[in-house]
Structure 1
Amino acid sequence: MKENIKEIIRSLSETFEGGPWYGKSVMRKLENVPYIIGYKSCVPESHTVAQIVGHLIAWKKFAVEKLKGNNDYSLEIDTNNDWPNIEVHSQKEWEELKRELVATQGEIYELLNEKEDDSFLEEKVDGKDYNFGYLLKGLVQHDIYHIGQIGLIESQLKKKEMDSGVFKS
């Protein structure tokens, strides 16, 4: 049976591109962020929306590699791989970054759909002290956490940029 896998896919999808009860999903939130603020931050030394998207991609890639059985792949917290320095200077670059995020999410769905049953969710993730069920539920929580950050950056920059025409009423 794959009931738990189906529920994880549903949760991942709802948070990523669906209509969660708490507000906008990751992709609905990113649709409203103009590329021109993608490389700006509210406070010096804080992350930009583009960096947050890169960070989401990094952890989704981590999950993909572990789901593929790549035991050599690792991702260390607070490194350049965890928080890539991404700058977006055009609509094309912004769209490419979002496409990479969507593609990585899609790869997670594909790999989960290939699983025979729920038993793999209890398997330990190589190099970690948690199992795949914990990792995948963590991805949902991770997306929700960063949706909040993106929303905060968007609202703060919207106040600063209102007269510039970046945000349309």
Structure 2
Amino acid sequence: MKKLTEEIIKSMSETFEGQPWFGDSVMRKLENLPYVIGYKTCIPESHNVAQIVGHLIAWKRYAVEKLKENESYNIEIDTPEDWPEINVHSQEEWEELKRELVAAQGNIYEQLNAKKDDSYLQKKVSGKEYNFDYLLNGIIQHDIYHIGQIGLIESQLKNKEVDSGVFKT
């Protein structure tokens, strides 16, 4: 039986492309952002939206590799693998980055749907002190956290860009 896995998929889907109670899902938030916001930051040292999307992709790929039992795959925090240097300078680049994110999410669903039952959820992730249930719920929390960051960047830049025509009113 895969009742817990189905609940995880449902929560992931709601957060990623659905209508969560807290506001916009990841994709709804990104679909409503003009591409020129993708490479802008509120302060010079902060990550831009494109880098945050790259970071989300990286950790979704990590989850997929761990679900495939790839013991050698790892991401070190605060490295280029964790925070890839990504900039978007055209609508086409922005759309491609969003497609990569959707594909990474789809790969998680594919791995979860292939599981025969929920027993893997209590199994330790190779090389880690946590199990798959913790990892997968962490991916959901990670999405929610970064939706908030993207929303903050969007609201700050809206104030700065109010007369530029970037945001349609």
Report TM bin, short chain.
over 0.9
State the alpha-carbon separation in 2 of the partners of residues 151 and 4 from structure 1: 30
Q: CA shift at 1:32, angstroms?
A: 1.2
Q: What is the match of residue 82 of structure 2?
A: 82
The superposition leaves residues 84-132 of structure 1 with CA deviations (integer Å, 9 ceiling, x where unpaired) of 0100000000000000000000010011000000000001000110000
Provide the secondary structure at the position in 1 that maps to 2:162: helix
State the alpha-carbon separation in 2 of the partners of residues 74 and 103 from structure 1: 20
Q: What is the match of residue 112 of structure 2?
A: 112
Q: CA shift at 1:44, angstroms?
A: 1.1
Q: What is the match of residue 157 of structure 2?
A: 157
Amino acid at match of 1:34: P
The superposition leaves residues 66-87 of structure 1 with CA deviations (integer Å, 9 ceiling, x where unpaired) of 1111111000111010000100
Provide the secondary structure at the position in 2 that maps to 1:51: helix
Structure 2: gaps spanning 5 or more residues: none
Structure 1: gaps spanning 5 or more residues: none
State the alpha-carbon separation in 2 of the partners of residues 160 and 66 from structure 1: 41
**Number of paired residues?**
169
Amino acid at match of 1:21: W
Runs of 4+ in 1 over 6 A off after TM superposition: none
Q: What is the match of residue 136 of structure 1?
A: 136
The superposition leaves residues 30-51 of structure 1 with CA deviations (integer Å, 9 ceiling, x where unpaired) of 0111101100000111010000
Q: CA shift at 1:142, angstroms?
A: 0.3
